[in-house]
Structure 1
Amino acid sequence: MDLVGTARDLAAARFPGARAAILGGSTNTARRTAFSDLDILVFLDGPPAPFRETTEYEGLPVEWFCHTDESYEVFTGREIADRRSPLLHMCGEGVVLLDQDGFGHRIGEEARTRLRAGPPPLSASELEDRRYGLTGLLDDLEGADDPGELVFIADRLLIAVANLILAVRRRWRSHGKWLLRRLREADPETADDLLRGYRRLVCEGDPALLRHVSTRVLDDVGGRLLAGYRRDAPR
């Protein structure tokens, strides 16, 4: 199946007045699998956008992300502040399917510029929050004697360390498989060490390597933080 052509036909049939449509995700890349769906970002002039919907075409899931120009800016603004922007990646790395007035190509180029600029840096308080959370997880790991609890603690620790590395290096964070992909791009050696440490804990019950790698990352950003940490409640 020609997935780009299929996505173009689907977008044109469902949204004939669309200002632009972009195919994102891994569908048009070497990372496509038998379970990859079609992620299609559509720009409309007004209602019913913004909305998100999942449909199906010949057994293939189709994820529709429909926006106006204004709603796209609101959503990407929130995503950038959160240091994770699926919309920017869809626009900047995707394939333009429809483009009535050049808007699709313009917004794609703008997204690539914003992606290259990276997410905002961590503030001093945000870095302290990360250090405090990671310190607590390492203490939990050290004190756990239940094999099941160790696995759950290790899961949180793995994700927290990965996100800390990306945040400190001003790299875009993500979830699931994309979190690992972004971490491998930013720091392949530490990514491999974390995976080996996590597998060793899960398979052998030995937390030593995961603890060592996580402590090394924590030390690089200021080290442990417990006593002296304080946050006032929001007003």
Structure 2
Amino acid sequence: MNPQPHPCQGLGSGQAAADVRAAARLVAARYPEATGAVLGGSAARGQSTPSSDLDITVLLPDHGMRRREVLRHDDRLAEVFLSSRSGLRTAFTESRTTRRATALFLFADSLVLHDADGHVEALRQEAKALLAAGPDPLTGPEVDAQRALLTDLLDDLTDTSPHSGPHEQLAVADRILREAAHLLTAHHRTWNGAGKWLPRRLKAADPHLGQHLLDGHLALARHADPTPLTTSVMRVLILTGGPLREGHVDR
């Protein structure tokens, strides 16, 4: 087997190289039984700051227990995902089910810290292929259920106003944005996201309509004006079959 290049190679002497060294020390000290490890997240992308935590995936022998640990080592906070090869493949499958692909992105867009037998690199290539393939399409009943939910939420938004309490309006708008993002990304067979990744994945799926959804949500938050958001969500519904009220049956 050809030797792996050192993970610091080509990273220079800045924050990225410091992150790799810190992650490698943590793995060596805490998980001597590991057969492999990668560093993902912002550190792997070269976008971390000194206060960023380290996202590390550790490959365990086949009998290892799948778990997540948050710990501090050498004064660096780290989020560590531990799994065997079979457990990691299960996480890949779960990513496709949730359509958020967290495990896939963490592993595919990573830097190899340790790979004793080549399994880490093989899994990275599997993750890259699964990401490129995209999530499975929603079934017809799943699309209908999402359309019905989004239609109902739009009705709720119409029934709320700043006079009934801005918190109600904002709460409904937040839910609408999440559900519209789910339906739009599914329509394009691209990955969805949560938290800061929701707007990133939404704009990646549909730069034009995704931006309109985000701008509509912002207009409601700033000016209590639901019209831009309502208009954008209706465009999502029309794109996926139209609003659905009468005749929907949950299965």
TM-score, with length taken from structure 2: 0.87
Aligned alpha-carbon RMSD (Å)? 1.5
Q: Which residue of 2 aligns with 1:64?
A: 80
Q: Which blocks of at least 5 consecutive residues in structure 2 are unaligned?
A: 1-14
Question: What amino acid sits opposite 2:151 in the alignment?
Answer: T
The structural deviation recorded for 1:19 is 1.2
Is 1:86–2:105 an aligned residue pair?
A: no
Is 1:186–2:205 an aligned residue pair?
A: yes
Partners of 2:40 and 2:54 within 8 A in 1: yes
Partners of 1:21 and 1:40 within 8 A in 2: yes
C-alpha distance 33-158 of structure 1, shift in aligned 2 (>3 A): farther
Is 1:116–2:132 an aligned residue pair?
A: yes
SS state at 2:65 partner: coil
Identical residues among aligned pairs (%): 37
Taking the aligned partners of 1:194 and 1:187, their CA distance within structure 2 comes to 10
Partners of 1:89 and 1:111 within 8 A in 2: yes
Q: Which residue of 1 aligns with 2:230?
A: 211
Taking the aligned partners of 2:238 and 2:221, their CA distance within structure 1 comes to 24
The structural deviation recorded for 1:170 is 0.9
Q: Which residue of 2 aligns with 1:12?
A: 28
Taking the aligned partners of 1:167 and 1:55, their CA distance within structure 2 comes to 35
How many equivalent residue pairs? Answer: 232
Question: What amino acid sits opposite 1:40 in the alignment?
Answer: I
Deviations 1:143-173 (A, max 9, x none): 1122221111111111111121111111111
Regions of 4+ moved over 6 Å: none
The structural deviation recorded for 1:203 is 1.4
Taking the aligned partners of 1:224 and 1:90, their CA distance within structure 2 comes to 36
Taking the aligned partners of 2:93 and 2:167, their CA distance within structure 1 comes to 39
Q: Which residue of 2 aligns with 1:44?
A: 60
Taking the aligned partners of 2:85 and 2:55, their CA distance within structure 1 comes to 18
The structural deviation recorded for 1:98 is 0.2
Question: What amino acid sits opposite 2:242 in the alignment?
Answer: G
Deviations 1:23-78 (A, max 9, x none): 11112325434542101101111455211110013442201100011211222222
Deviations 1:83-121 (A, max 9, x none): 122111111111110000111111111110111001100
TM-score, with length taken from structure 1: 0.93
Taking the aligned partners of 1:211 and 1:35, their CA distance within structure 2 comes to 39
Partners of 1:85 and 1:172 within 8 A in 2: yes
Deviations 1:182-232 (A, max 9, x none): 112121222321222112111111111010011011111111101101124
